[in-house]
């Protein structure tokens, strides 16, 4: 029996210390190659004008830029503290001219209709106050034929896998946040239901080893 979902935050990750710890964690994940960048590329988000939602410290978008060509990235982030770290990371990658960080809430995206060829997001949807609203914003801001891909944890993961991943998650200080994110994450069935309530006709929700992946086309 899967426990009830528990909301983690409706404001993103704002605290100075939390952000630095998250940045350290994101670097560990990047170095292990656990960042879903290959998945976004495999789904066809490879070029053009692309949006990332909830980049946090930005490493996923920066790794995506490293693996793609003829691409420009806009990254929409609710936390200014995260944007500061993301800009620092973009400078370290030498990609400051390829990425634009925008401070804002994905519930009301500050972009025109049909702005993007592709939209991706990792580990953020469980924090969105109204996910259906954001998914409809994704629909609105995609060009016709545009693709989106969202990856996240899933709450219905095998408890033994949770124990194993919890014990190996570094730095240690991120572990309580790891658990609260897991408790806020959706199951595959819940995510499918969310998508059914959006304007997307063409979507797929897939179960992965530790998480889930949602893909769709406008």
Residue whose CB is less far from ligand SAM, 145 or 176: 176
Q: How far is the CB of 117 from ligand SAM (least distance, A)?
A: 19
Q: How far is the CB of 24 from ligand SAM (least distance, A)?
A: 11
Instruction: Show the site string, 84-113: x = touches ligand SAM by CB under 6 A, - = not.
Output: ---------------------xxx------
Pairwise CA distance, residues 161 & 84, whole Å: 33
| Cα three-residue angle 218-136-177, rounded to 5 degrees | 115
Q: Binding-site residue total for ligand SAM (CB under 6 A)?
A: 21
Instruction: Show the site string, 33-72: x = touches ligand SAM by CB under 6 A, - = not.
Output: --------------------xxxx---x------------
Regarding 184 and contact with ligand SAM (CB under 6 A), the answer is no
Residues 6+ positions from 71 with CB-CB distance below 8 Å: 46, 47, 48, 50, 64, 65, 98
Regarding 211 and contact with ligand SAM (CB under 6 A), the answer is no
Q: How far is the CB of 198 from ligand SAM (least distance, A)?
A: 16
Distances (CA, A) of 119 to 46, 49, 155, 165, 173: 10, 9, 24, 28, 31
Interhelix angle 175-184/16-32, nearest 10 degrees: 80
Q: How far is the CB of 170 from ligand SAM (least distance, A)?
A: 14
Name the one residue in this structure whose structure tokens are 């702005």. Answer: 115
Residue (of 52, 37, 55, 43) closest to 147 by Cα position:
43
**Which letter, b or e, does each residue of 131-153 get, where b requires 16 or more Cβ atoms within 10 Å of its Cβ?**
beebbbbbbebbeeebbbbbbbb
Regarding 135 and contact with ligand SAM (CB under 6 A), the answer is no
Residues 6+ positions from 7 with CB-CB distance below 8 Å: 184
Residue (of 208, 216, 218) closest to 185 by Cα position:
208
Regarding 23 and contact with ligand SAM (CB under 6 A), the answer is no
Q: How far is the CB of 1 from ligand SAM (least distance, A)?
A: 26
Residues between 112 and 131 with contacts to ligand SAM, criterion CB under 6 A = 122-124, 127-128
Q: How far is the CB of 150 from ligand SAM (least distance, A)?
A: 10
Query: Would you tell me which residues interact with ligand SAM (CB under 6 A)?
Result: 12-13, 26, 53-56, 60, 76-79, 82, 105-107, 122-124, 127-128
């Amino acid at each position: 029996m899967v426990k009830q979902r528990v909301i983690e935050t409706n404001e993103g990750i704002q605290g100075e210390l939390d952000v630095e710890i998250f940045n350290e964690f994101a670097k560990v994940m990047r170095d292990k190659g656990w960042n879903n960048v290959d998945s976004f590329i495999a789904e066809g988000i490879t070029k053009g004008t692309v949006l990332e939602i909830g980049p946090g410290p930005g490493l996923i978008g920066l790794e995506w830029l490293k693996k793609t060509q003829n691409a420009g990235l806009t990254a929409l982030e609710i936390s200014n503290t995260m944007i500061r770290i993301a800009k620092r990371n973009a400078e370290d990658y030498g990609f400051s001219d390829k990425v634009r960080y925008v401070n804002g809430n994905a519930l009301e995206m500050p972009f025109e209709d049909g702005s993007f060829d592709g939209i991706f997001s990792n580990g953020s949807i469980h924090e969105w106050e109204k996910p259906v609203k954001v998914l409809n914003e994704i629909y609105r801001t995609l060009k016709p034929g545009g693709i989106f891909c969202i990856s996240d944890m899933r709450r219905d993961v095998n408890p033994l896998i949770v124990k194993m991943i919890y014990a190996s998650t570094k730095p240690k200080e991120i572990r309580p946040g790891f658990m609260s994110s897991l408790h806020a994450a959706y199951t595959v069935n819940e995510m499918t239901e969310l998508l059914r309530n959006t304007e997307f006709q063409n979507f797929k929700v897939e179960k992965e080893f530790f998480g889930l992946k949602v893909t769709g086309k406008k």
